[in-house]
Structure 1
């Protein structure tokens, strides 16, 4: 009887009465939320020299400072899965984003290593859940037929963070010190919060389905569904190969390919600018030709730059930038139809809990992939990187499995009816 009730809760709801203009503003506000918390996460790494010198930190202490955010995000994602579907989406977004802004401001005002560590943990707690909640709102409010395009808009925030957010933050840090970027991000959060208050619709249609049973039962229901585990597997496969390659691009290109440290930003600037445009293109193609088909095509094409990059000899800088740009275009491109598919894996009443668990597991998969990539490479006596090609073969193998695996996913295309 309980299983029958669960399937009744999954029945499709009518499409949301949202005009395209309101939908556009909704997506832009969600992209702005994504942009701020992605910049907050990314900017910590290049601030390493300033922070280690100021606080007299060892490499291990700074590494802990960086990883504290991801670890806190993973834990908070799992805990949020117990209760997130018991709150109306807009209210949850506004509360979490306000908490994130305060935590980020605390990072900028932190006077000691210990206080900065505490603030980074708090930022991770709020930021980790925010990412999953933004994707949940897209899945709740945007019809499946347009969800690829919607994910393309929201995920362009990653490109904007790379192209504009991090460089601007580093410039500000050079002018006023390491505190500046965090204070600036917190200030930017204020108008973003106000816009979200105005344009994000109330989404409470999932509450009826989430009300029955305890919070623990909601998590158990999410974890007991075989289709959800197929989706979690797809999510892990999307990062397995690529994140064994990405952390070591700078090391390999500067050590083996002769790229100077001054030329490294060219790789990320070109890749960020290109993906800023292609993310929306992939979303449009996914909506037009089918998300599974486009996901498979982009994934297979992505193997080409992954294999070339990981086996590349010394080449002119222009050739290297072309290859790395293609790498970012297609590797990040998989995520657009991929995340649209993941939002359709759970029924609306479980979407928040599902995306929270998925975010936590995906963070773990990223960490595992980065560790695995490090285990596959080594150094020669003269300091060159060897074994990087193994990460390419790992990416090839995981891609082939992923292309087959995505066909196993069962999709629920229901959306909520927002209150505008």
Structure 2
């Protein structure tokens, strides 16, 4: 396997325009479902007071989405490659919009919980479908830039989506963010209908098989398991750190609650630019090389953040911003590599299973991170540094492990 970037002939301008419109539509889909997931967490104070529920019951609202996303990804993996990609994307995205509208209309805690499960079912499949379409529609030599653009949606959700949603909630109530996401989803749905091409090349021979056969094909391939292991390693170290950043920095580093938005705003603005930079460098220097370089660089802010003493705000923002830039940055070449691990005929199923395993990895890692920390009698967090060392170990393993992947770098399947 070569880690060097491949050369390609000049690309016609009309093709580049169509490809850009496709990628911006996919990024917008990513943006809406990421904001839908993220906005629940800061709405906690309003919802616990309104519905008279405990913190644990509110936590179920958050975790129900991830659990539903993981389970739906696993189930859908058996049939997703039997459908043309554009039709599947539009149907799933329409279901997501309806589920999000149900969240805003929910009159009780039970109704909201059911709506969050439904949103997770569709949202989990959406993430895998977006990545699959990038893999199908964009040649391998340009896939790093494509992933960088599509994944910049996470930065936009941090910088604009969540703060705007919280402003709406404070002004018009907790329902309004979900209504706004639904309205935005309808606009994006039309844009996707116009810009996403028909992708049928993966369907040859798939519809004649029993649904379980496709899942068996995915799980029987050793190279897929190497890719799944890499995917889970990418998330294991970082998600033992991320859920506790606010707790640690406000308890141990001197950050006030009013200053917390600065951390995410600075990180979001920086990654908005660096995600696309990593994409260009990934295609120019090679995906394996860039994955290794960014992963090693990410260790520095992970260790610094988890061992940080009381520091001035500019120093803290420098560390946290570097954390977001490099930790999220390694996902750009990482996901470009993962889309090339399966053959096109099983790419949708593979990415659905991968999404389910990623959800599990995030949940387990967050739980392990919580076990590592405790509170002193003074209220300070202790043991957070262990999460940093765990991140170092997982990084060293995956930097070696990525060289074991076998890649399928053929161009996109035929359209019709």
Short-chain TM bin: over 0.9
1:419 alignment partner in structure 2: 415
2:246 alignment partner in structure 1: 250
2:62 alignment partner in structure 1: 66
Distance 1:365-1:18 versus aligned 2 partners, 3 A rule: farther
CA distance in 2, matches of 1:182, 1:130: 17
**Residue 276 of structure 2 is aligned with which of 258, 280, 293?**
280
1:409 alignment partner in structure 2: 405
SS of structure 1 residue aligned to 2:379? coil
Listed as ranges, the gaps of 5+ residues in structure 1 are: 1-14
Is residue 386 of structure 2 the alignment partner of residue 390 of structure 1? yes
Contact 1:307 1:393 (8 Å CA) reproduced: yes
1:225 alignment partner in structure 2: 221
CA distance in 2, matches of 1:229, 1:162: 32
CA distance in 2, matches of 1:293, 1:219: 31
Please state how far the C-alpha of 1:18 moved relative to its aligned partner.
7.2
Contact 2:344 2:413 (8 Å CA) reproduced: no
CA distance in 2, matches of 1:18, 1:376: 53
Is residue 86 of structure 2 the alignment partner of residue 126 of structure 1? no
2:103 alignment partner in structure 1: 107
2:6 alignment partner in structure 1: none
Is residue 30 of structure 2 the alignment partner of residue 30 of structure 1? no
Alignment of 1:21-420 (within 5 A): 21-417=17-413, 419=415
Return the TM-score normalized by structure 1: 0.95
SS of structure 2 residue aligned to 1:45? coil
CA offsets 1:253-301 (integer angstroms, 9 cap, x no match): 0001111000011100000000000000000000000000000000000
Please state how far the C-alpha of 1:413 moved relative to its aligned partner.
1.1
Return the TM-score normalized by structure 2: 0.96
Contact 2:201 2:415 (8 Å CA) reproduced: no
Distance 1:16-1:63 versus aligned 2 partners, 3 A rule: farther
- Please provide the CA RMSD for this pair: 1.3
Please state how far the C-alpha of 1:60 moved relative to its aligned partner.
1.2
Please state how far the C-alpha of 1:17 moved relative to its aligned partner.
11
Please state how far the C-alpha of 1:375 moved relative to its aligned partner.
1.0
Distance 1:89-1:116 versus aligned 2 partners, 3 A rule: same
Listed as ranges, the gaps of 5+ residues in structure 2 are: 1-10
CA distance in 2, matches of 1:54, 1:311: 38
Deviates more, 1:406-415 or 1:23-32: 406-415
SS of structure 2 residue aligned to 1:210? coil
CA distance in 2, matches of 1:56, 1:228: 45
